[in-house]
Structure 1
Amino acid sequence: MDEADSLALYIHWPFCVSKCPYCDFNSHVRDSVDQDRWRAALLADLTHEAALTPGRRMGSVFFGGGTPSLMPPATVAAMLDAAAGHWGFTPDVEITLEANPSSVEAARFADLAATGVNRVSLGLQSLDDAALAFLGRAHGVTEGLAALATAQAAFPRVSFDLIYALPEQTLAAWQSELSRALSFGTEHLSLYQLTVEPGTRFATDAAQGRLHIPDGDTAADLFEATRAITAAAGLPAYETSNHARPGAESRHNLTYWRYGDYLGVGPGAHGRRGACATVRHKKPENWLGAIDRNGHGLQAEEPLDGHARAQEALLMGLRLREGVYLRRVAALAGGQAPVDRGAVGRLERLGLLTLADERLTVTETGALLLDAILPEVVTAAPLRLAGGAI
């Protein structure tokens, strides 16, 4: 089987010890979790998707959350055994699990590695204790770095997250923190600017004047420094917020950005199964109820027409340093592609985009303005491309 035809699988574990003030993910705090019931429900949701995707192989599995490192290793093992039985894994299957860098969860790393997890993504978030307290994290720097060392000993591949553009954070302070982060030798870093998301505690704080994040010029300086420092260290940005040594990119997330097929199981999980968008019930209790009633947690399945798929492929693919192959976008749209050729030419003259050999890419300068570029380039109505590409 062509490895390019492989699937990606996302498994959502929705529980956290506490809710961080910046987080708008589908995460929940519960006094107790019926682990046996949750394992059975996740397996049922997985089985439903397997019946709809026969003959495919699984190229990557990603346990996200929430805090998947709170999952019992036996549940992780059961899900991986079931996935291997339903689809089979490609020889180089990537199996990632997100983890909090606490000593309690780090104690499970060896057991999680024994289940087949071969890549871990640690939510360090900062290398400054005051910043960690501001972000509502339960760990400190010392505990977090100890968990990182444990992860590096247990897993062949390790990534960690940092959040920057914090209130009053200076360029010099972030440059120093990022240089320290790069000294730990991981192959991958996810580096996110703090954003105030609706419905979070930080959104309430900002509305009441208690939170002030850096202005646009300061944030731009921080972003540009991030790109320059990581590139100089050999971990260039391959996506807007993700940096890796060449060959160490997250293959799972590349499936999303390259608009491949991925399945989502667990509360609130989204998927793209062929030309169909899927979404699971978001609230854990509602998802469990749906499993009991229907044998799966689906809330909706929506067919996607060619134009919608082409739009999604553009919006995702232009986040990547490699850009988007426009002939493929045109094929998704059935011979049409939702690209404004006039806008492409104008932005290319400004040095924000390049178009060569049918591949459209955002330049380093353009990456800073991606949110403004996308609505200019991706049109609401399809335009036919001469020869299938512009």
Structure 2
Amino acid sequence: MPASTKTDPLTDDPRAPGFGIYVHWPFCQSKCPYCDFNSHVVASVDQARWAAALVRELEHMRELTGPRRVRSIFFGGGTPSLMEVATVEAVLARIHALWQVDEDVEVTLEANPTSVEAARFRGYASAGVNRLSLGVQSLDDRELKFLGRLHTADEALGAIALARNTFPRLSFDLIYARPGQTRDAWERELRAALAHAADHLSLYQLTIEPDTAFARLYEKGAFALPAEEDAAALYELTGDICADAGLAAYEVSNYAKPGAECRHNLVYWRYGDYAGVGPGAHGRIGAGRAHLATRTWRAPGQWIEAVEAGGHGLEASEEIAPPEQGDEMMLMGLRLEEGVSLARYAKLAGRALDETRIAGLVTDGLLLRDGERVRTTAKGRLVLNALLAQLLS
């Protein structure tokens, strides 16, 4: 493997981005109507073949990254809880062999309540998974049916209880701002969820993504989403209720008790490096003086054939120009409550942000400034895209 001086020394900086590894498992039992992720429904999967391919692509990524210290590993999808324990074991074993791995590395695996099995959960935990992320989405059976989910609310609660008894850390997702959802209905559902939560929740407003079943239904007028002001009110209510329960809004859609933030997602939001393997996985890798954006083939068949033929499934590996690096850092970092460093932006982008624009956004109540750091206000987070467009133009 090529020599590299790029390492991750221990640091006392709590905001250091770190280095993570993302593993994409593209298979699901069904395709949810709101989902635009790279997920596919298939009759069967050759798990041994897929484990071998993931391991082989990890080896290629090690050649690109050089020696790094792994802070987090994330199995996403798709539905990674459809992976056999042996597949997860093979991937984790190879990561430990290829890189230096933190003793307290965070290893997250996404799961759906319909694919929950106690024996498999114990197997994942034995393999090294220490954090589960459950795709619950709702605790209302009628709403689950609308969202295309295969589980019931009772099954979701059973999966949450099993996960809490198996893994040191647990998060689960809910989708709100659904058609016809009232403030009172969402408050009841969220408070019920908090009664079962551990230390982290991901709470997303329903959005209509292009080329999804919901997009087609929405265009036909089959349903309507809450008005913008109603959605904003639900967002503010969500933050208040979670704060009362001790879960701070550390990111636009993520709430956690102190110290329970998702370390892997913090790698993204703090604009750290990460290697992405599996179909459609993206990566950001520092390679010497260059900073690379990597992307693998989305189609599972195309990806695995490419890996078996050439050792990796990369469709593209492109150098990111300095101005784009700065913009990417700002796009990700302003999602965080902690905000971003203006000095780091200037170092990455090769230029400083316009002080007049920053001052204007502060005056408008959209940004807060503390020395060389800026962060969004609650008002700014509601119009984050417009804020970014003004700041970075």
TM range (shorter): over 0.9
Judge conservation of contact 2:18–2:267 (CA < 8 Å) in 1. no
1:277 aligned residue: 293
Confirm or deny that 1:321 pairs with 2:337.
yes
Instruction: Assess, with a 3 A threshold, how the Cα gap between structure 1 residues 247 and 63 changes in structure 2: closer, same or farther.
Output: same
Confirm or deny that 1:149 pairs with 2:161.
yes
Secondary structure in structure 2 of the residue aligned to 1:123: strand
Q: CA offset at residue 367 of structure 1?
A: 1.3
Confirm or deny that 1:303 pairs with 2:319.
yes
What are the Cα deviations for residues 142-195 of structure 1, in whole angstroms up to 9, with x where unaligned?
A: 011001100000000000000000000000000111111111141000000000
Confirm or deny that 1:247 pairs with 2:259.
yes
Judge conservation of contact 2:81–2:116 (CA < 8 Å) in 1. no
Aligned CA RMSD, in angstroms, stands at 1.2
2:92 aligned residue: 80
2:382 aligned residue: 368
| Match 1:11 to one of 18, 23, 38 | 23
2:127 aligned residue: 115
Cα distance between partner residues in 1 of 2:187 and 2:326: 38
Cα distance between partner residues in 2 of 1:175 and 1:254: 28
Instruction: Assess, with a 3 A threshold, how the Cα gap between structure 1 residues 357 and 148 changes in structure 2: closer, same or farther.
Output: same
TM-score after normalising by structure 2: 0.94
Gaps of 5+ in 2: 1-8
Cα distance between partner residues in 1 of 2:111 and 2:47: 18
What are the Cα deviations for residues 188-246 of structure 1, in whole angstroms up to 9, with x where unaligned?
A: 00000000100000000011110211110110110110111111211011000000001
| Match 2:179 to one of 149, 161, 167 | 167
How many equivalent residue pairs? 377
Cα distance between partner residues in 1 of 2:223 and 2:18: 44
Secondary structure in structure 2 of the residue aligned to 1:237: strand
1:387 aligned residue: none
Secondary structure in structure 1 of the residue aligned to 2:40: coil
Cα distance between partner residues in 1 of 2:348 and 2:385: 23
Instruction: Assess, with a 3 A threshold, how the Cα gap between structure 1 residues 49 and 60 changes in structure 2: closer, same or farther.
Output: same
What are the Cα deviations for residues 237-280 of structure 1, in whole angstroms up to 9, with x where unaligned?
A: 10000000011000100000000000000000000001000000
Cα distance between partner residues in 2 of 1:19 and 1:265: 22
Judge conservation of contact 1:42–1:266 (CA < 8 Å) in 2. yes
Instruction: Assess, with a 3 A threshold, how the Cα gap between structure 1 residues 256 and 141 changes in structure 2: closer, same or farther.
Output: same
Judge conservation of contact 1:94–1:119 (CA < 8 Å) in 2. yes
| Match 1:2 to one of 7, 10, 15 | 10
Gaps of 5+ in 1: 380-390
| Match 1:237 to one of 242, 245, 249 | 249
The amino acid across from 2:49 in the alignment is R
The amino acid across from 1:43 in the alignment is V
Judge conservation of contact 2:17–2:267 (CA < 8 Å) in 1. no
| Match 1:26 to one of 2, 18, 38 | 38
| Match 1:43 to one of 33, 36, 55 | 55
Judge conservation of contact 2:17–2:270 (CA < 8 Å) in 1. no
Percentage identity across paired residues of the two chains? 55
Judge conservation of contact 1:101–1:147 (CA < 8 Å) in 2. yes
2:208 aligned residue: 196
Instruction: Assess, with a 3 A threshold, how the Cα gap between structure 1 residues 103 and 6 changes in structure 2: closer, same or farther.
Output: closer
Instruction: Assess, with a 3 A threshold, how the Cα gap between structure 1 residues 5 and 25 changes in structure 2: closer, same or farther.
Output: closer
Cα distance between partner residues in 2 of 1:221 and 1:6: 35
Secondary structure in structure 1 of the residue aligned to 2:336: coil
Structure 1: which 4+ aligned runs deviate by more than 3 Å?
3-6, 103-107
Judge conservation of contact 1:129–1:140 (CA < 8 Å) in 2. yes
Confirm or deny that 1:345 pairs with 2:359.
yes
Cα distance between partner residues in 1 of 2:63 and 2:130: 26
The amino acid across from 1:240 in the alignment is V
